[in-house]
Amino acid sequence: MTEAERTLTVLVGLNVLVFGAWQVPRWTPFMVRWFMHHPGASNRPITLVTSCFSHKDGLHLACNMIGLWSFGGLVHDYLGRQQFLALYMTTGIGANMASHVLSLAFRRSRPLLPSLGASGAIYGLLSGTAYLEPQASVSLIFLPFFPIKLGYALPAMMGLDLAGILLKWKMFDHYAHLAGASIGLGYLAYGQQHVWQPLIKNIHAIRTQQSSS
């Protein structure tokens, strides 16, 4: 297995493990409290993290893990393991935070609904892959036999999510999808030069200063 495949296998395994916990009926109250993010429950911010690995429905899990495996490899190879994992978690948590804030801001027009799943992070990987390889083709879940270039697929999917917000669709967390895609695209375009490299440089400088003192 390549390094990317090993990393993705661990991430898939974590998601499958949490999915298995959802299947134990007596654990359901615990899972609802600690592995779903409720915008109205500000006393449990940890769910911004745990919900990124949480799926109750097998189809939801399968779709997200297929997306993770399909789009994660190229981004992993481009960034390396440490930076990939940092991006994956930042995108997932950032998507949840955006969904949290926007859900509260527009609570009068949309009901507050709990959310879970890796979709925000997967959208970040999708947009990152589209940035790196816009001419690559993908067959979307709802159009399985119709390949479309990622450079067109990404704006089409983001357009659907925008429509979902405007039309008040409730099936998906459209705020999280749009936020995840935006974070992933922004990071691949600017983050490595303006965020990661300065961060690593500062960490090395601090370590050097500590070792010399």
Q: What is the DSSP letter of 190?
A: I
Cα–chain center distance at 210: 35
Is 137 noted as a catalytic residue in this protein?
A: no
Cα–chain center distance at 68: 9
| 137 neighbors 147 (Cβ within 8 angstroms) | yes
Is 127 noted as a catalytic residue in this protein?
A: no
* CA atoms of 12 and 31, how far apart (whole Å): 18
* CA atoms of 119 and 67, how far apart (whole Å): 9
Q: Which of 37, 76, 174, 177 is catalytic?
A: 177
Query: First-to-last CA distance in the chain?
Result: 42
Residues 6+ apart with CB under 8 A from 38: 44, 47, 112, 114
Q: Which of 119, 127, 174, 182 is catalytic?
A: 119
Cβ neighbour number for residue 197 with a 10 Å cutoff: 12
Q: What is the DSSP letter of 53?
A: G
Catalytically active residues are: 119, 177
